Amino acid sequence: QVQLVESGGGLVQAGGSLRLSCAVSGRTSSSYTIGWFRQAPGKERDFVAAITRSGSSTWYADSLTGRFTISRDNDKNTVYLRMNSLKPEDTAVYYCAAAAGDLFSSRGSYREFYAYWGQGTQVTVSS
């Protein structure tokens, strides 16, 4: 069993930056593809970004490419999501999720392929 804990959310002004962290425990993080998803009030939980076990492949929601960067440090069992040039529409609860093995963009953008989820961290971007 793997546990995921997100941190780093908060309130930021439009144009600002945040770095979210996803701490993986229970098993070594290098066993899992890690994805970030977000859910705004009244909306579906949408894919944000994901990274393979070694970090060699990453992929992003089309609308976020260039502003968000996913990375991982397997020695620290932590995956990061750096978010720049934040906009009010980025306001949401951000979740990290884990899938055993390597997913790639064909499957790794879909919630149903991730078996483990964190509790989420709130990101609020003010205008």
Q: What is the pLDDT of residues 32-82, one digit of tens each?
A: 999 999 999 999 999 999 999 999 999 999 999 899 999 999 999 999 999
User: What single letter denotes the amino acid at residue 46?
Assistant: D
97's enclosing H/E stretch is strand 92-100
CA pair distance 127, 120, nearest whole angstrom:
23
3's enclosing H/E stretch is strand 3-7
- Predicted local distance difference test score (pLDDT) of residue 72: 97
pLDDT interval class at 10 (50, 70, 90): very high
pLDDT above 90 (res 91): yes
Nearest Cα neighbor of 32 from 54, 57, 9 is 54
CA pair distance 44, 33, nearest whole angstrom:
21
